Homo-oligomer: A and B are copies of this chain.
Amino acid sequence: MMSRKLGQHHNLSDEDRAQFAALPFVLRRVSASDYLVRESQVPEKCAFVVQGYTYRQKLTVNGERQIVSMQIPGDFIDLQNLFLRQSDHNVQALTNGLVAEIAIPALQRVVLTNPAIGKALWIATLIEASMLREWLLNIGRRGAPARLAHLLCEMAVRMKQVGMPIEDSYELPMTQEQIGDALGLTSVHVNRVLRELDRRGLISRSKRRFHVSDWDGLRQAADFNERYLHLDQC
């Protein structure tokens, strides 16, 4: 099951997939808000999301939080710890879920000796960096409505890509405070901007489910171009 995720995304041969699947791993259940990685900690394993969602975050000394990326099923949680000795940020579970953990030495060995798997994980890492750059552009240079619309577009596209059912609506289980932390805004302002997008006829909401009434309009409001997701190479 775990190899399915990777194989699906990275065009591995059966043999390579088998080699990846042969890695000893542990499935672990996690609860919303659990810490999966802590900054400054020395990591021992690499994990990826099997079910549910996680996010990476960093804190200022004043305790202000910035969410720097979201992980959905199939995404690695801490590939950065594969070769770095000390974690440079925190990872928390957004929802209850399931993660698969692999011991770092074993994964290092496979990555450095099996070119196909090595390449697949290189690509995953490079795409993650690309998303970070787009988030920097989003937070640094777009106004609040565009930022929010951009997040909604990105999450929808990524979820659709891993086979989750996104038609006109989808569930994004983030609180408005978490959305604010991901966008460099306050929860109060997120609330107001959500209602603005609603009023503009782009989305409507019920609980944490978003109905997108006008995808084109939303994309346009977001200045969204999916090139940075490198969908053809996942």
Contact = CB atoms under 8 A, between A and B. Distances in A.
A48 interface: no
Nearest to A89: B133
A65 B141 contact: yes
Contact of A85 (B140, B142, B233): B233
Interface stretch (A19-27, A118-126, A202-210): A118-126
Number of copies: 2
Interface in A35-82: 39-40, 56, 58-62, 64-66, 68-69, 79-80, 82
A228 interface: yes
Given A132-B132, A137-B60, A126 B230 contact: no
A122 B80 CA distance: 9
A32 interface: no
A17 B230 CA distance: 32
23 contacts: A39-B227, A58-B133, A58-B134, A60-B223, A62-B223, A68-B132, A68-B136, A68-B137, A82-B126, A84-B130, A84-B230, A84-B233, A85-B230, A85-B232, A86-B230, A108-B119, A113-B115, A122-B122, A122-B125, A132-B132, A132-B133, A135-B136, A139-B139
